[in-house]
């Protein structure tokens, strides 16, 4: 998600000022319209953590902040599903310490592609492999080292997984882990949709 996350910090800092009432829904609708042109040969899923600015953790209690504590302090985790070209398809925000499989639970049931490629964090029988198999879909996921039952995967196809690292979610660069400035998850997600729409338009 380097393309997406590299722009989201610039947009997100000003998202609240740029949004009339209901505008965040407009960014989402624009993004979803563009994402309808996805290349569904296969899909990929991953996540990244963005630090929450220390002055942005004070939203009202009834607001869904999606801010928690991870190794880097207060943070938000962005879970994303992307298409075969690395273009973003769907997102989920959770507190930074949330397990990656929470993103899988939310994003994979709506996956249109017949094949999922992901890293070993998603090697979960009950949460990923069995549900997708029941839906007639296949997976390209390397097995965890502690897996007791051996499992084969397409190593050549797995090499395409770098697309999600370069375009969507997972990178160690500062640009790919955007700081979160807004207090509410709604405003942060709006900036994410806007940045994703920009990718589709480029």
- Token code pair at residue 155: 């190593």
pLDDT of 50 reads 77
Q: Is the pLDDT of residue 164 over 70?
A: no
> Residue 144 — very low, low, confident or very high, per pLDDT cuts 50/70/90?
very high
Q: Which residues of 174-201 are buried (b: 16+ CB within 10 A; e: fewer)?
A: eebbbbbbbbbbbbbbbbbbbbbbbbbe
What value, to the nearest 5°, has the Cα angle with vertex 66 and ends 121 and 29?
A: 90
Q: Which residue has the tokens 């965890």?
A: 144
DSSP letter for 52, please: B
DSSP letter for 123, please: -
> Residue 125 — very low, low, confident or very high, per pLDDT cuts 50/70/90?
very high
pLDDT of 20 reads 44
d(CA 5, CA 41): 24
pLDDT tens track for 94-104: 998 899 999 99
Which carries the bigger pLDDT value, residue 190 or residue 64? 190
Asked if 164 and 1 touch (Cβ cutoff 8 Å), the reply is yes
Where do the structural domains in the chain lie, given as residue ranges? 2-201
> Residue 166 — very low, low, confident or very high, per pLDDT cuts 50/70/90?
low
């Amino acid at each position: 998600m380097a393309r997406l996350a590299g722009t989201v910090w610039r947009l997100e800092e000003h998202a609240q000022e740029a949004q009339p009432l209901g505008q965040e829904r407009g960014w989402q609708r624009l993004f979803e319209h563009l994402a309808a042109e996805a290349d569904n040969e296969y899909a990929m899923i991953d996540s990244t953590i963005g630090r929450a600015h220390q002055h942005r953790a004070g939203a009202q209690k009834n607001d869904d902040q999606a801010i928690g504590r991870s190794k880097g302090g207060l943070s938000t985790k962005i879970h994303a599903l992307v298409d075969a070209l690395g273009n973003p398809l769907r997102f989920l925000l959770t507190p930074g310490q949330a397990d990656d499989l929470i993103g899988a639970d939310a994003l994979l049931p709506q996956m249109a592609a017949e094949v999922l490629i992901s890293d070993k964090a998603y090697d979960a029988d009950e949460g990923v492999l069995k549900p997708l198999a029941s839906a007639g879909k296949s997976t390209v996921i390397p097995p965890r080292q502690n897996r007791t039952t051996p499992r084969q995967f397409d190593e050549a196809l797995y090499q395409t997984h770098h697309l999600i690292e370069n375009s969507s979610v997972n990178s160690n660069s500062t640009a790919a882990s955007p700081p979160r400035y807004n207090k509410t998850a709604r405003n942060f997600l709006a900036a994410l949709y806007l940045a994703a729409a920009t990718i589709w338009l480029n």
